């Protein structure tokens, strides 16, 4: 593989129309083909109590985490199907979920400062369901759909103010980093994962082990 070219396209993915416009731009750039779609847009930043969550937070979480994944995937489907080598080397849709979309309840560190992660975690449960249903419909059409479920992966140093509490719940004793997530995405994008679809790839340093134990 030689050097590639990276294009930036500004888009607001919280509506069907915006997703369709982005797909149209991708079509122009990619010779009407798209090998891999990574649905990675996300929103964090909740600091309200269970009884005092603004309605807008719910709307924002579900619009970006759930609706955008469905509408962008459907808008890009013709491009994905054209690029697919069917079952030998399918096109790929990779959807970023969360370990909070797998477990029931919340991890202790999401309950700090009296805050509640319910809109976030429930939207991630929803997107895991959307992803699995998309896999049912798209896999026979030559498009693999898988879910990447990261654990705590700060995108900046000040992302969490209770980092010691977080690390204490991770068996590997550290949070995730970009390389941890990128490695999983590369695998799901490669020929090595041609026969992998409709599954959840958990990258969390063992965090869910403690999560499951705390809920038994």
Active site residues: 120
**Residue bearing tokens 């477990």:** 103
173: left (phi over 0), alpha (psi -120 to 50) or beta: left
Query: Which of helix, strand or coil describes residue 10?
Result: coil
List the helix and strand counts (H, then E) for the chain: 7, 4
Question: 30 to each of 155, 176, 204, how far by Cα in Å?
Answer: 29, 32, 33
């Amino acid at each position: 593989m030689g050097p590639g070219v990276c294009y930036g396209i500004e888009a607001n993915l919280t509506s069907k129309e915006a997703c369709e416009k982005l797909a149209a731009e991708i079509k122009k750039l990619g010779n009407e083909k798209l090998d891999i779609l990574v649905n990675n847009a996300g929103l964090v930043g909740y600091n309200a109590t269970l009884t005092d969550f603004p309605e807008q937070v719910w709307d924002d979480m579900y619009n970006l985490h759930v609706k955008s994944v469905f509408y962008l995937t459907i808008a890009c489907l013709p491009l994905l199907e054209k690029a697919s080598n069917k079952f030998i080397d399918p096109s790929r849709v990779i959807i970023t979920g969360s370990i909070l979309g797998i477990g029931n309840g919340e991890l202790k560190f999401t309950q700090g400062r009296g805050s509640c992660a319910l809109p976030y975690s429930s939207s991630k449960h929803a997107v895991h369901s959307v992803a699995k249903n998309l896999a049912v419909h798209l896999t026979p059409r030559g498009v693999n759909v898988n879910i990447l479920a990261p654990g705590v992966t700060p995108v900046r140093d000040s992302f969490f103010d209770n980092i010691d509490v977080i690390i204490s719940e991770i068996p590997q004793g550290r949070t995730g980093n970009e390389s941890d997530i990128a490695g999983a995405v590369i695998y799901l994008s490669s020929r090595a994962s041609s026969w992998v679809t409709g599954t959840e790839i958990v990258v969390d340093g063992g965090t869910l082990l403690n999560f499951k134990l705390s809920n038994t």
